[in-house]
Amino acid sequence: MAAVEFLPNVYWVGVVDWNLRDFHGYAAAPRGTTYNAYVIKGEKTVLVDTVSAACSRAFFEAVEAVVPLEAIDYLVVNHVEPDHSGCLMEAVERIRPEKIFCTAMGKAFMLSHYHRSDWPYEVVQTGQSLPLGGKTIDFLELKMLHWPDNMGCYVREDGLLISSDAFGQNWATSERFDDEMDFNEMAGLMGSYYANIILPFSEHVLKALGRVEELGWPIRMIAPSHGVILRGHVEEAVGLYRRWARQEVARKAVIVYDTMWKSTALMAEAIAEGLIEKGVTVRVFHMKACHHSDVVAEVLDAAAVILGSSTHNNGMLPLMADMVRYMEGLRPRGRVGAAFGSYGWSGEAPKQLSEALERMRMKVCDVLRVKNVPAEADLAVCKDLGRRLAGEVDALAGA
Ligand code: FEO
């Protein structure tokens, strides 16, 4: 896509990856993504980030449409993950920048990715500035949002925060701005991105938001590394980030299970009925019909997480093992949980699931096991668990 000048002498020079579906090897991206890079022109010109190596031709075309490569003075590397530094080797060779601005960890990561000790690294910290003549960039370390090297850039004259992975959405669109899109749709995709990428680093989100407040920077626009640029809903997006980072929850429960002969599925449905009867919003996921990314996107604001599995070879079914491993890594906290499952003779899976909930520091309300096929009385117990969980959900969600 063509470059877009969205502020005076500030250009989007990114690439839309319409066909991406596997994000970083672990998250689903059903709507594709974009890799956003930016050119800022003052008396000196800077290129902020590159894109995935697979998109190099489109990237250099976009950059060259706004500035000849030899007229770029500096590179800023906000993040070394290859979706943003994939064209860095070629960019350095063709641009020959005077300096490459990055964090200390950014330099270390570039050395271990590209093995070029001869590049002109310039390590910066929060509070340091780069005057371009007509534009001024203030650097902001964004450690762990999403890697230890992440950094943001604030363009002082425009109130523009280039936020790297923070505020990203995996969304391939021809539109470049949030005010050209439906806000709720954007917020959903930003939430899914948060749940799958940023959630484990929520403490760092709160620190970064606090640091921006201390610095007193008025933020009029946020330009992330993925998805659309925020200019119509900046306050709402910051509010959502604050809420997600605090792990605030709604009157909502997520039931995730896998089943062999549908007995565990019957238990899941009965638990859901009890919750729904009490007016709780419920999302039920059978792991054979969904991706773990879809589940955690719903867990983001759910007060209850209820895990079920049949027992197979003394353990949970493999798709639940994947789900639990993925969810634990994302560190959802402060929820209530329960575990359930049908079994034939040994029946270890529900206990293993409840242990996983405890490792996620969730309060386990109950662990239900049913031998083989649930009878009506067993399903009544499951439904009653749903009702009891609704009370816990209300307490957590402040209803
Ligand atoms: Fe968009 Fe952490 O890379």
**CATH at 241:** 3.60.15.10
- 43 CA from centroid of ligand 1 (Å): 30
Question: Which two three-digit tokens encode residue 21?
Answer: 């579906």
Q: Does one domain contain both 240 and 257? A: no
Catalytic residue among 165, 298, 301, 366: 165
- Please state the separation of Cα 20 from the chain's center in Å: 16
Name the residue at shortest CA distance from atom 3 of ligand 1. Answer: 81
Average pLDDT over residues 174-178: 98
Has residue 396 been placed in a domain?
no
Report the C-alpha gap between 29 and 52 in whole angstroms: 15
Assigned domain for 338 exists: yes
Contact by Cβ (8 Å): 321, 361: no
- The residue whose CA is least distant from atom 1 of ligand 1 is 165
What are the φ and ψ backbone dihedral angles of 70, each rounded to 5 degrees? -70, -10
Asked if residue 127 and residue 225 are part of one domain, the reply reads: yes
Atom of ligand 1 nearest to the CA of 225: 1
Residue range 344-385, pLDDT digits in tens: 999 999 999 999 999 999 999 999 999 999 999 999 999 999
Q: Is residue 360 part of a domain?
A: yes
Split at pLDDT 50, 70, 90, the class of 399 is confident
Ligand 1 close to Cβ of residue 225 (< 6 A): yes
At a CB cut-off of 8 Å and minimum separation 6, what does 98 contact?
73, 74, 120
225 occurs within a structural domain: yes
The answer to whether residue 1 scores a pLDDT higher than 90 is no
52 lines ligand 1 (CB under 6 A): no
Question: Average pLDDT of 165-182?
Answer: 98
Residue 191 binned pLDDT confidence (cut-offs 50, 70, 90): very high
Asked if 146 is an active-site residue, the reply is yes
Long-range pairs, 201-206, Cβ under 8 A, ≥24: 201/144, 201/145, 201/146, 202/244, 202/245, 202/246, 202/247, 202/331, 203/245, 204/142, 204/143, 204/144, 204/145, 205/145, 205/166, 205/241, 205/242, 205/244, 205/245, 206/242, 206/245, 206/246
- Arithmetic mean of pLDDT, 129-147: 98
pLDDT one-digit tens code per residue, 285-325: 999 999 999 999 999 999 999 999 999 999 999 999 999 99
Same domain, 326 and 239: no
> CA 293 to CA 169: how far, in whole Å?
13
For the chain, how many helices (H) and strands (E)?
A: 12, 23
End-of-domain residue from the set 210, 245, 280: 245
> In this structure, is residue 108 part of a structural domain?
yes
Selected catalytic residue, list 38, 121, 193, 241? 193
| Distance from residue 165's CA to the centre of ligand 1 (Å) | 5
Are residues 304 and 214 both part of a single domain?
Answer: no
146 lines ligand 1 (CB under 6 A): yes
The string of pLDDT tens digits covering residues 95-121 is 999 999 999 999 999 999 999 999 999
Token pair, residue 9, equals 């002498």
Last residue of a domain, one of 191, 224, 245: 245
Cα–ligand 1 centroid distance for 340 (angstroms):
36
Using a 10 angstrom Cβ sphere, with 0-12 exposed, 13-18 middle and 19 or more buried, the burial of residue 377 is exposed
Q: Are residues 97 and 183 in the same domain?
A: yes
Q: Note down the domain range covering 334.
A: 253-390
What's the pTM value of the predicted model, to 2 decimals?
0.97
CATH number, domain of 309, equals 3.40.50.360
Do 231 and 330 have their domain in common? no
DSSP letter assigned to residue 30: T
DSSP string, 191-228: HHHIIIIIGGGHHHHHHHHHHHHHHT---SEEEESSSP
Cβ of 312 less than 6 Å from ligand 1: no
**Averaged pLDDT of the chain:** 98
Q: Which atom of ligand 1 is nearest to the CA of 24?
A: 3
Residue 277 has pLDDT above 90, yes or no: yes
Half-sphere exposure of 62 (CA within 13 A, CB side): 24
Is residue 334 pLDDT above 90, yes or no?
yes
pLDDT of residue 223: 98
186 lies in some domain? yes
Please, what's the b/e burial string for 6-40 (b: 16 or more CB within 10 A of its CB; e: otherwise)? bbebbbbbbbbbeebeebeeebbbebbbbbbbbbb
Cα-Cα-Cα-Cα torsion 170, 173, 179, 184, nearest 10 degrees, comes to: -50
115 and 8 in a single domain? The answer is yes
**Residue 221: per-residue pLDDT:** 98
- Mean pLDDT of all residues in 222-247: 98
Instruction: Indicate if 279 and 347 belong to the same structural domain.
Output: yes
- In a domain, residue 397? The reply is no
Active site residue 233: no
Is 81 touching ligand 1 by the criterion CB < 6 Å?
A: yes
Residue 116: inside a domain = yes
Domain count, the chain: 2
Residues counted in the chain: 399
Q: Which residue has the tokens 């000849």?
A: 68
The verdict on the CB of residue 158 being under 6 Å from ligand 1 is: no
Q: Does one domain contain both 31 and 160? A: yes
Q: Within this chain, do residues 213 and 266 fall inside the same structural domain, yes or no?
A: no
Q: Is the CB of 224 under 6 A from ligand 1?
A: no
Residues 219 and 300 both lie in one domain: no
312 is catalytic: no
Atom from ligand 1 closest to the CA of residue 150: 2
State the pLDDT at residue 14. 98
The residue from 245, 264, 279 where one domain ends is: 245
| Strand order across the 302-309 sheet | 281-286, 250-258, 302-309, 336-343, 363-371
* pLDDT of 332 above 90: yes
Residue 83 Cβ inside 6 Å of ligand 1? The answer reads yes
Active site residue 301: no
Report the share of the chain in percent with pLDDT over 90.
99
> Can you tell me the distance from the alpha carbon of 63 to that of 303, in angstroms, rounded to the nearest whole number?
45
Closest ligand 1 atom to 35 CA: 1
Q: For ligand 1, is residue 149 a contact (CB within 6 Å)?
A: no
| 205 and 264 housed in the same domain | no
